[in-house]
Structures are given as structure tokens and as C-alpha cells.
């Protein structure tokens, strides 16, 4: 199928509507990042992408896979900021900036891939890894997307940037805007974001506006405002965000010496991240860097599960839901990138699962007990993996990577409430199995309050030690 092409199209990249397929030049992208004809979202394509249509006589050369791997490895020893960035080190995969040396970077990416042997045993797989995107400069995966899109804002001469957020996007945007000397505006749902995140956007100098609505309401309002003011929108509807967020897929493969895992399990909120990672893997396959892609599965909280419902609906209709979950990062009922994410699940052969509040809390404590903190929204991955294994969708010998999206210190109140036994309602606890209740009881470590008296402390310690030995 051939689509119309805008004659002003840039030769470094084009934007293609993921709904109707129309391609436009980067210069003509609407401020809400939606196709004027069908309201679909755009994706960035390059001369080497599938579906690129040549509007000039330039020869299209595919980057050489062996050469790329070598170059990316070599850059690890460089002192240049763009080489030290875990996004721009892979710049051949996202060549959309006029001058990449002017990119705004906090040396994002470069995040660890940890083994989770105890969680593997709990979930019923032999080999489980966690790609911890919470180890980014502002504590979440959003930094990888923000360096990309905010650099575009700078290149296009914007002075103001804005986003609607459940907290992490706003923290990342405020930090990168501050680095670049831009002014930033944050729209957040009042009372529904974690304090760690709110404090970050204030610290980085954003104008923080709390609205008496949810995330979906914030994004809707902001989308209208950016059409009236010269403000650059930095939500994941901005296709350049996803270009940065695809780079952890490359990092995972580098860290596994280019052995492709069988599964990648990702939390789903507005569904930009799963879309981005899928794009990354599929592009690497297209370029010959890998011969197959992992199955990408998306996990949602039961109270914010529109994609899960869509997945199980024979009519395949996306119905927004009124979202409610303590994993506030993914408290989203009308995900903007649902079409992109659903295609990634279908193209890679993945699944969509939902998990309860109780399952999220337990999985978070289980990951934490391995010395790796993450925020509740990240823990849906382990909770979802347990279900995928139980349903036979992931087998024991298959290699699985969980995408941990945020740092545990983003939402310390959740953790404190869990350990004090104040997080879940009696009916949520009643919904757990006996095994889950026993696992949770063993993991909860509420603080012990004692008199500042040596004898009292020794007595208490002896009791604890005896209890541990008798197990």
C-alpha cells in the first residue's frame, strides 16, 4: 500500500501515522502530535526503516550490524557526554537531531541487568533478570525518552515545555528542562501522585499544577493548551520520546552478549514504554542485529486495565475505564498508545495480564527482599509473570527479563504502609491464597520499638535469632 508523502519531508527521518499510514515531514508535525485526518499517533521512521518511501534520489544504506555493535562497544570508553549517555551511544538508531552533540543529557541509561534467583524460583522459571530502569538519573525509565524529546524541543527553539504526568514523566521533564534552561509546566492529578516524584519537579523548578482530575483529564486539558500556546508537549504521544525509550532494548541485548531472551515483561500505563521497547527490538531484527525478538507481555493493575480488557474482547474495541490503583504511576484509564502497544504484543507473540493490589504488594516485597527496590508499578511485572507461568504461557526453561521502571524511593509511603500492615484492606487480604498470605507475613518487616535499654535489646535480639533458627 502506498501513502501520500509530504514533499517537504526531511531526509533524516519521517513521521508516519500509525493509524492511517500517512507520512509527513518532521517540520509539519501538529503540536498535539496527532494526525489531523484520523487522530492517530505518529512514529518516527528512518531511511533504513520498513516502509520508508524515498522522496529524493538519496541512496538508502542499512547500517552494518557488526560495525554498529563494535562502535557502540567502543564508545563505552569515551569521555564525550553523548558517548556516556546510554541513549546517544546508540545514536545510529535514532538519527533525528541536526546536531547530536547539542543533545541535553544527564548520562541516562546504562542501567543494570540484575539476576533475581529467588523471584525466579517463586515465579517458577529457571532464569530471571531485571532491567532496572529506576537506576536512571531521576529514578525512572522516563529519562531515556526525555533526553530525546527535550533535545528536539531545544533544536526547534521552544522556551516552554509541558507534560501531564502521574509523577515520573514530570520529574524527568523538569530535570532535563532545567539542564537546558527551558521553563517547564507540569499537570498532575491532585493527591494521586507519590511524594518523591512531586518533590522532584518542584526541586527542578517546574511550575507544578495539581488538577482536580485524573491523569487522563490532565492530558486532555494539556493537549488543548499546547494548540493555543508555543509549548512543546513532552508526553509519550511525542514520538521522539519513544525513540529514546527504545534504547534499553539495545542495552539488554548488549548485556546478554546479543543472546535474545524469550520474554520481556513490561508494566502498562499510557502504553508508550511497551510500544517503544517493541519498536526497538523489531528495528534491530530488521537491521539484522538479531534474528528474532522476545515475546513482549504487558501487565496492568486490575483497577486500571483497559488494554487487558481489549485483549480479551472479541470485538477488539478499546473502552476507557475509570482507573484506580495504589500503583499510581499506572493509574491510567485511557492509554494514548494502546494501538501501538497492542501491535507490539501481537507482532511479538506476547500477552496482556492484570494483577490485583495484593499481588502487586507481595511481588514488590519479593523483589525488595532480593536487595532490589522498585516502585509498585514496576512490581506488576513479577506479579504478572507468576500468572503467565501458571497459565503455561511462559515455560520454566525460557529466559525472562522484567522491566523495572522506577526506583523504590519514588514512593516510600507504599513500602512503609505495606510493612506496617496498613496498606491493604481486609477484603484485599482475604483475596490472597494461603501461600501468598504466608509469603507476605514472612516478608513484612515493621520497625520494632524498644526501650533504650541494653537488657531489653538483648532479650529482643535473642528472641528474633531463635525464631530465625527454628525455621
Judged by CB, which is closer to ligand F0G: 165, or 354? 165
Q: Does 328 engage in binding with ligand F0G (CB under 6 A)?
A: no
Exactly one of 162, 330, 367, 400 binds ligand F0G (CB under 6 A); that residue is 330
Strand 14-17 to 23-24 pairing:
antiparallel
- Write the DSSP string, 440-455: HHHH--PPPP--S-HH
Exactly one of 14, 151, 169, 342 binds ligand F0G (CB under 6 A); that residue is 169
Exactly one of 151, 208, 247, 405 binds ligand F0G (CB under 6 A); that residue is 405
- Alpha-carbon distance of 305 to 287, in angstroms, equals 34
Q: What's the chain's length in residues?
A: 471
- Alpha-carbon distance of 278 to 283, in angstroms, equals 8
Q: Does 166 engage in binding with ligand F0G (CB under 6 A)?
A: yes
Q: What's the sign of the alpha-carbon dihedral 357, 358, 359, 360? A: positive
Shortest Cβ distance from residue 455 to ligand F0G (Å)?
45
Asked if residue 139 lies in contact with residue 153, where contact means CB atoms within 8 angstroms, the answer is no
Binding segment toward ligand F0G, per CB under 6 A, in 14-22, 165-173, 317-325, 433-441: 165-173
User: Could you give the angle at the alpha carbon of 308 between the alpha carbons of 319 and 345, nearest 5°?
Assistant: 110
Exactly one of 109, 239, 269, 306 binds ligand F0G (CB under 6 A); that residue is 269
- Alpha-carbon distance of 263 to 52, in angstroms, equals 29
Binding segment toward ligand F0G, per CB under 6 A, in 199-207, 221-229, 268-276, 428-436: 268-276
Shortest Cβ distance from residue 320 to ligand F0G (Å)?
15
3-state SS assignment for residue 95: coil
Q: Does 329 engage in binding with ligand F0G (CB under 6 A)?
A: yes
Q: How many CB atoms neighbour CB 76 within 10 A?
A: 12
Judged by CB, which is closer to ligand F0G: 140, or 356? 140
- Alpha-carbon distance of 245 to 147, in angstroms, equals 10
Interaction pattern, residues 270-289, with ligand F0G; x per rule: CB under 6 A: xxxxx---------------
Q: Does 406 engage in binding with ligand F0G (CB under 6 A)?
A: yes
How many of the chain's residues bind ligand F0G (CB under 6 A)?
Answer: 23
User: For residue 231, what are the β-bridge partners?
Assistant: 160
Asked if residue 65 lies in contact with residue 287, where contact means CB atoms within 8 angstroms, the answer is yes
Residue 205's region, left for phi above 0, alpha for psi from -120 to 50, else beta, is left
Q: Does 350 engage in binding with ligand F0G (CB under 6 A)?
A: no
Binding segment toward ligand F0G, per CB under 6 A, in 12-20, 120-128, 151-159, 262-270: 262-270
- Alpha-carbon distance of 8 to 55, in angstroms, equals 9
Judged by CB, which is closer to ligand F0G: 82, or 252? 252
Exactly one of 268, 278, 303, 373 binds ligand F0G (CB under 6 A); that residue is 268
Q: Does 165 engage in binding with ligand F0G (CB under 6 A)?
A: yes
Residue 326's region, left for phi above 0, alpha for psi from -120 to 50, else beta, is alpha
Shortest Cβ distance from residue 350 to ligand F0G (Å)?
14
Judged by CB, which is closer to ligand F0G: 248, or 406? 406
Q: Which residues bind ligand F0G (CB under 6 A)?
A: 140, 142, 165-169, 236, 267-274, 329-330, 375, 377-378, 405-406
Amino acid at each position: 500500500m502506498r501513502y501520500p508523502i509530504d514533499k517537504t519531508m526531511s531526509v533524516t527521518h519521517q513521521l508516519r501515522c500509525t493509524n492511517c499510514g500517512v507520512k509527513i515531514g518532521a517540520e509539519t508535525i501538529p503540536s498535539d502530535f496527532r494526525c489531523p485526518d484520523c487522530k492517530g499517533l505518529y512514529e518516527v521512521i528512518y531511511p533504513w526503516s520498513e516502509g520508508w518511501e524515498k522522496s529524493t534520489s538519496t541512496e538508502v544504506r542499512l547500517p552494518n550490524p557488526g560495525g554498529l555493535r563494535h562502535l557502540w562497544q567502543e564508545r563505552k570508553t569515551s569521555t564525550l557526554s553523548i558517548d556516556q549517555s546510554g541513549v546517544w551511544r546508540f545514536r545510529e538508531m535514532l538519527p533525528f537531531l541536526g546536531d547530536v552533540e547539542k543533545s541535553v543529557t544527564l548520562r541516562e541509561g546504562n542501567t543494570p541487568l540484575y539476576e533475581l534467583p529467588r523471584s525466579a524460583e517463586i515465579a517458577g522459571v529457571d532464569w530471571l533478570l531485571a532491567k532496572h530502569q529506576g537506576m536512571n538519573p531521576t529514578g525512572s525509565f522516563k529519562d531515556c525518552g526525555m533526553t530525546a524529546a527535550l533535545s528536539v524541543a531545544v533544536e526547534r527553539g521552544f522556551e516552554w515545555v509541558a507534560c501531564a504526568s502521574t509523577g515520573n514523566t514530570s520529574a524527568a521533564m523538569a530535570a532535563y528542562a532545567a539542564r537546558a534552561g527551558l521553563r517547564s509546566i507540569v499537570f498532575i492529578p491532585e493527591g494521586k501522585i507519590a511524594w518523591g516524584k512531586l518533590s522532584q519537579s518542584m526541586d527542578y523548578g517546574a511550575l507544578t499544577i495539581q488538577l482536580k482530575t485524573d491523569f487522563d483529564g490532565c492530558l486532555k486539558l494539556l493537549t488543548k493548551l499546547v494548540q493555543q500556546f508555543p509549548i512543546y508537549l513532552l508526553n509519550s504521544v511525542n514520538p521522539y520520546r519513544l525513540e529514546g525509550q527504545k534504547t534499553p532494548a539495545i542495552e539488554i541485548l548488549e548485556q546478554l552478549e546479543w543472546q535474545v531472551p524469550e520474554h520481556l515483561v513490561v508494566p502498562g500505563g499510557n502504553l508508550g514504554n511497551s510500544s517503544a521497547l517493541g519498536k526497538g527490538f523489531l528495528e534491530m531484527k530488521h537491521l539484522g542485529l538479531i534474528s528474532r525478538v522476545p515475546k513482549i507481555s504487558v501487565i496492568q493493575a486490575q483497577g486500571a486495565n483497559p488494554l487487558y480488557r481489549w485483549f480479551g474482547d472479541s470485538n477488539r474495541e478499546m473502552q476507557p475505564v475509570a482507573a484506580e490503583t495504589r500503583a499510581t504511576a499506572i493509574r491510567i484509564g485511557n492509554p494514548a498508545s494502546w494501538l501501538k502497544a497492542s501491535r507490539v504484543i501481537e507482532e511479538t507473540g506476547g500477552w496482556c495480564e492484570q494483577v490485583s493490589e495484593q499481588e502487586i504488594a507481595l511481588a514488590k516485597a519479593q523483589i525488595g527482599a532480593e536487595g532490589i527496590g522498585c516502585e509498585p508499578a514496576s512490581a506488576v511485572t513479577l506479579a504478572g509473570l507468576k500468572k503467565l507461568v501458571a497459565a503455561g504461557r511462559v515455560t520454566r526453561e525460557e529466559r525472562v527479563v522484567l522491566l523495572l521502571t522506577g526506583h523504590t524511593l519514588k514512593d516510600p509511603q507504599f513500602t512503609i504502609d505495606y510493612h506496617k500492615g496498613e496498606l491493604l484492606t481486609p477484603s484485599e487480604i482475604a483475596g490472597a491464597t494461603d501461600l501468598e498470605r504466608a509469603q507476605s507475613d514472612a516478608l513484612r518487616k515493621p520497625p520494632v520499638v524498644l526501650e533504650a535499654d541494653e537488657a531489653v535489646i538483648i532479650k529482643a535480639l535473642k528472641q528474633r535469632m531463635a525464631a530465625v533458627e527454628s525455621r
